[in-house]
Structure 1
Amino acid sequence: MTAFHQLTDPLGSLALAAVLAALPLILLFILLGVFRTKAWKAAVASLALSVVLAVAVWRMPVGQALSATAEGAFYGFFPILWILINALWVYRLTTETRWFGVLGATIRSVSGDLRILAILIAFCFGALLEALAGFGAPVAITSAMLMAAGMKPLKSASVSLLANTAPVAFGAMGSPVIALSGVTGIPLGTVAAMAGRQTPFLALIVPLLLVFIVDGRRGVRQTWPAAVVGGTVFAIVQFATSNFFTVELTDVLAGIVAIAAVLLLLRVWKPAAAEVADNAVAVGEPASIVLGTEGAAGNSGAGRTSVRGGTAPGIGQSVRPGQGSAAESEVPARPSPREIWMAIAPYLVVIAVFSISQIPAIKSWLTAAGGFSFNWPGLDVVGTNGKPAASQIMRFDHLKATGTLLLISGLITLALYRIRFADGIKIYVKTLGMLRWTILTVCSVLALSFVMNLSGETGTLGVALASAGGIFALLSPVLGWIGVALTGSDTSANSLFGQLQVTAATHAGLSPVLMAATNSSAGVLGKMLSLQNLAVAAAAVGIDGLESTLFRRLIGWSIGLLALLTVLVLLQTNVLSWMVP
């Protein structure tokens, strides 16, 4: 097989080549945001365009372009879909028993206010899940828990996606910054410290945005103390841990301490009025969702969402259609301690399994016993630096993979809930059926990512942005944002653009440490728009096919937060340069 050498400027015009390289991404965003195309159709169309450009413009052999497509699709299934499938299986094991209803009662016994629950579940607990599992697991689990508390599907998904921002740079036990250090050569402590001086500013803002999404300006006015306490405590602990302690436990400690802080606040303070369950959603019921005009129109106020199934014992009454959204709701009686432990058992099992897997001796054994690397067949790609492209080497860690650990957690849950193994298999098969379009979507968008990366399209786009010189400080956050929006992973985006950020910063006279960390910190804001994460959220709440609706709801928040972070980065290049280690 003849080696394929990537070309940075295949047309003799870097600007024109960059425009062509961006076309698959532009097409993806237009199909989702303007034409409201189903996610799988948008992903397949963008993939097809990328393959055509790779062959016709970047001169990649057809066989290698197809092989890159296959590699991306495989990576989409393992590890990403492997995580989602098993995370949703764990969740569905609870919905098949009465413990899901008890979970709803437990959540609402802490607070009957959906705004407070958005902070506690989506932001604080979601950060803990991000630290332990990463990828789509926090979005899948927290959106399901918010639905258990009575929040509408679209709103649950939107809140969970937006909340999954501030923790991401240190998610999956610090994988993104660890990867960034590996590709750039910057010491891990240095790059982690810099990221820890950027993402805490997002943590200060995000909880306020969550309560705004749930209940508008009134929500911010009535619940700002909880949002400020949760965000501030999380930000302080994230900064302190990443700068002075250990990178791997940054979000674990930040999430746990933030949860404790909000719960302590609730002992001495309550909001004046409660934002209760949305219209016609029975609180805590096992969600079998039937979308009315809301799903068709994408308008949370037009139509209704009904839920079939009997209300579990101890659950508060559902809100009648037309009842004021901020009306007082009687908080249900707290279930017994045993019932509470059983209701939250699957999530405690997940935390325990992942924590045990991080014990050095066990982690080393899992890596040695169940991990290996191999060259993907049909690929021989040489990068512009003259070295083989790293992404054509596939790492297969089937034992320590997040999805495998979630599978183990599910098997333990089977035993705890005394569900027959045969019934557990049936539930697993049903879960696969629910995710059939999500599987196609995620595999297609990861195939798009690999084709763009291996053909040189991504490199061309990055070099064009880096050639901007001194104003690269403005473009650096955009580059990280694009990377995560495309790959759905801050770790992948750091691997993709980390070294490019350092090289461009050096040529532009900017701090390589600052620009490298910015790639990761700004990248987290693109995660809520990445197609695979939209698909995860939609599948988790049972609204497959409405990814474009979620995209339109979130793109404004994503760009707005990106603009704020860009201002911070500009300040850190001069006025706040003392913040750069």
Structure 2
Amino acid sequence: MYVQDLDPTGSLTLSALLAALPLVVLLVLLGGLRVKAHWSGLAALATAVGVAVLGYGMPLLTTLDAAVFGMALSCLLILWITFNAIWIYNLTVDSGHFAVLRRAFGAVSDDRRIQAVIIAFAFGALLESLAGGGAPIAVCAVMLIAIGFSPMRAATLALVANTAPVAFGGMGNPITIMGSVTGLSADDFGAMTGRQTALLAVLVPFILLWIADGRRGLREAWPAALAGGVAFGLGQFLLSNFFSYRLCDIFAALFAAGAILGLNRVWRPRIAEDSENRIRRGGPPATGGAAASPQPRATTVQSLVERPDDAPDRRADVLAAFAPYLIVVALFSLAQIPAVREVLDAPTVSWTWPGLGEITRPDGSPVAAEYRLNWGSATGTLLFASGLLTMAVLRIRPGRALRIYGDTFRQFGWAVLTIFAVFALSYVMNLSGMISTLGLWLAGTGAFFAFLSPVVGWFGVAVTGTDAGSNALFGGLQITAARELGASEYLFGAANSSGGVMAKMISPQNLAIGAASVDLVGREGDLFRRVFGWSVVLLLAMCLLVYLQSTPVLGWMTIY
């Protein structure tokens, strides 16, 4: 039996510094010394094992068992989802329909910056709402390369854009988990989160314009950012507060895309008009240009890929290009029907992980170490089923689809090791008590904890890579702090989700996924430095918002 000691040094501040050491090692190696993500993750894991055994007195075998438990969880929560999501994408590439999809997005606007907002922000949010797990980052990054962005900039855009929808990603899974671990209303957590992330969403498209084209991008294309951001934020707020938090991101993404499409009918940036003039004069076409005169229709994979951007595609080809994502939407919507969900959940099995069942907190309560194998209703399984249907729609033979799946697996390479290392790190820190030590120290700041509450969620996502994982780790801590301070439980619980989304872009596993998807494996450190500043800026904005919501200034926004 191992009983957690949350203050092993006798000084809570020193204990917190000791507990933070693995995170410091991870961030310094990854961002400061440009060490590859998998080596940084392994070094941080080794540090965590050392701190757990020597500092917290956790038995070595129990510590290693916790690391294996984390790796096992990552298989279902991350890898099974991501492999299948990118497999679907690779099926569209192999069939030639990805080129059709790219041209369809390009037809919305001749301006590459607006295309970036539509792809990374709106389409990425739709993917996040259905699957999450890094899939939107991988798919959108490759699509951005296809319309002309460099691999590094494409990955940066995809990572930053992935902030706004994360709190409600995977059909609201982070909010559902917050409700389950705290025993409070998930609907109220969802409503409160919508009153925070909706404001954040308005800012993200403007940041994307800055990343895409600097100050000129903001000056020339800001109306599109405003339309998309406001529409998305309004969708999140309305759905989370008046309908269902599970469907938030689906409708918010559709609202954002619709707003930009509508705006494009009456307004276009000057640079887009110049591009069209060059097309009319016979000059080089803009990337993703709008349709021009009819051309011979594509009938083969090669002709789909090589078709000029100014040649129209058959409606059947366009429908087939969007079919994989329509299939995903349809299957995930069906899976939310209670009767269907019950059937999918029937084969679920769960058990306490061997060797971890006797870990207890200082008050004697057990620490959860349950492995739940919900292979029937798992997000990855639904994506795999979507892939099988995609094979049929795109007419890809089973043997070819299997080879594509193997190529998808090899595409990740070292990223798989990074994900294993970081999840192992997360559960060593969690089960040893290090995470609770950090949370306890932060809660000791009194009323100022309202400002720091999002930081707790930020750290959680930085370690686990998922908002759901952060809520599972820190949900109880946030509620305990709220009760001790007499603050709103829903405010602090929502702040954990809202603050966590800003760490999505800097978590090692998402950096690894982003780098792998654009063939930049080994340059995760460079990618980290490009997004870290934006992560901190958005986090500080969220901290200020949550603090004001805890005071009379914005207290009218808070649910009690």
| TM-score normalised over the length of structure 2 | 0.92
Q: Which amino acid aligns with 2:186?
A: L
Counterpart position of 1:422: 399
Output the CA distance in 2 between the equivalents of 1:282 and 1:84: 32
Counterpart position of 2:515: 538
Output the CA distance in 2 between the equivalents of 1:310 and 1:556: 43
Shift of 1:529: 0.6
Output the CA distance in 2 between the equivalents of 1:41 and 1:557: 24
Instruction: Say whether residues 1:579 and 2:557 are aligned partners.
Output: yes
- In structure 1, which of residues 489, 500, 504 is the aligned counterpart of residue 481 of structure 2? 504
Counterpart position of 2:305: 312
Counterpart position of 1:251: 249
Q: Which moved more, 1:12-21 or 1:346-355?
A: 346-355
Shift of 1:559: 0.2
1:41-60 paired onto structure 2 within 5 Å: 41-60=39-58
C-alpha contact 1:238 1:251 (8 A) present in aligned 2: yes
Output the CA distance in 2 between the equivalents of 1:31 and 1:361: 49
1:149-160 paired onto structure 2 within 5 Å: 149-160=147-158
Q: Which amino acid aligns with 2:307?
A: G
Gaps of at least 5 residues in structure 2 are: 276-283, 289-301
C-alpha contact 2:96 2:304 (8 A) present in aligned 1: no
- In structure 2, which of residues 527, 545, 553 is the aligned counterpart of residue 550 of structure 1? 527
Counterpart position of 1:25: 23
Pick closer, same or farther for the CA change 1:359–1:258 going to 2, 3 Å: same
Output the CA distance in 2 between the equivalents of 1:352 and 1:39: 36
Output the CA distance in 2 between the equivalents of 1:115 and 1:82: 32
Shift of 1:446: 0.3
Identity %: 48
Shift of 1:283: 6.2
- What are the superposed Cα offsets for residues 485-522 of structure 1, whole Å, 9 maximum, x if unpaired? 11111111111111211212222343322112111111
Number of positions where the alignment pairs a residue of Structure 1 with one of Structure 2? 535
- In structure 1, which of residues 437, 441, 452 is the aligned counterpart of residue 429 of structure 2? 452
Output the CA distance in 1 between the equivalents of 2:244 and 2:61: 45
1:476-515 paired onto structure 2 within 5 Å: 476-515=453-492
SS in 2 for 1:312: helix
User: Whose helix proportion is higher, 1 or 2?
Assistant: 2
- In structure 2, which of residues 343, 356, 359 is the aligned counterpart of residue 381 of structure 1? 359
Counterpart position of 1:296: none
Q: Which amino acid aligns with 1:145?
A: M
Pick closer, same or farther for the CA change 1:485–1:282 going to 2, 3 Å: farther
Output the CA distance in 1 between the equivalents of 2:340 and 2:146: 35
Counterpart position of 1:527: 504
C-alpha contact 1:132 1:355 (8 A) present in aligned 2: no
Output the CA distance in 2 between the equivalents of 1:504 and 1:359: 36
Counterpart position of 1:242: 240
SS in 2 for 1:394: strand
- In structure 1, which of residues 347, 351, 356 is the aligned counterpart of residue 325 of structure 2? 347
Shift of 1:436: 2.1
Counterpart position of 2:38: 40
Gaps of at least 5 residues in structure 1 are: 285-308, 317-331
- What are the superposed Cα offsets for residues 29-57 of structure 1, whole Å, 9 maximum, x if unpaired? 00011100000000000001101111111
C-alpha contact 2:172 2:247 (8 A) present in aligned 1: yes
C-alpha contact 2:110 2:286 (8 A) present in aligned 1: no
Shift of 1:5: 0.9
Counterpart position of 1:142: 140
Counterpart position of 2:258: 260
- What are the superposed Cα offsets for residues 338-373 of structure 1, whole Å, 9 maximum, x if unpaired? 12112222222222222222222111110113x111
C-alpha contact 1:142 1:160 (8 A) present in aligned 2: yes
Output the CA distance in 2 between the equivalents of 1:528 and 1:281: 33
Pick closer, same or farther for the CA change 1:37–1:310 going to 2, 3 Å: farther
Shift of 1:282: 11
C-alpha contact 1:109 1:333 (8 A) present in aligned 2: no
Counterpart position of 1:227: 225
Q: Which amino acid aligns with 1:315?
A: P
Pick closer, same or farther for the CA change 1:419–1:190 going to 2, 3 Å: closer
- In structure 2, which of residues 316, 323, 328 is the aligned counterpart of residue 338 of structure 1? 316
Counterpart position of 2:295: none
Shift of 1:311: 9.1
Output the CA distance in 2 between the equivalents of 1:240 and 1:578: 17
Output the CA distance in 1 between the equivalents of 2:226 and 2:89: 30
SS in 2 for 1:542: coil
| TM-score normalised over the length of structure 1 | 0.89
Q: Which moved more, 1:504-513 or 1:121-130?
A: 504-513
Q: Which amino acid aligns with 2:514?
A: A
Output the CA distance in 2 between the equivalents of 1:181 and 1:311: 47
Shift of 1:175: 1.3
Output the CA distance in 1 between the equivalents of 2:510 and 2:11: 34
- In structure 2, which of residues 196, 205, 208 is the aligned counterpart of residue 207 of structure 1? 205
Instruction: Say whether residues 1:461 and 2:461 are aligned partners.
Output: no
Counterpart position of 1:288: none
Pick closer, same or farther for the CA change 1:381–1:315 going to 2, 3 Å: farther
C-alpha contact 1:39 1:535 (8 A) present in aligned 2: yes
Pick closer, same or farther for the CA change 1:315–1:354 going to 2, 3 Å: farther
C-alpha contact 1:129 1:137 (8 A) present in aligned 2: yes
- What are the superposed Cα offsets for residues 41-96 of structure 1, whole Å, 9 maximum, x if unpaired? 00000001101111111111111111101011111222201111111211211222
Shift of 1:439: 0.6
Output the CA distance in 1 between the equivalents of 2:420 and 2:341: 28
Output the CA distance in 1 between the equivalents of 2:94 and 2:304: 13
Output the CA distance in 1 between the equivalents of 2:244 and 2:62: 41
Shift of 1:333: 3.3
Pick closer, same or farther for the CA change 1:311–1:33 going to 2, 3 Å: farther
C-alpha contact 1:104 1:315 (8 A) present in aligned 2: no
Shift of 1:239: 0.7
Q: Which moved more, 1:133-142 or 1:559-568?
A: 133-142
SS in 1 for 2:351: strand
- What are the superposed Cα offsets for residues 440-471 of structure 1, whole Å, 9 maximum, x if unpaired? 00011000001000011111111011111122
1:79-118 paired onto structure 2 within 5 Å: 79-118=77-116
Output the CA distance in 2 between the equivalents of 1:446 and 1:580: 33
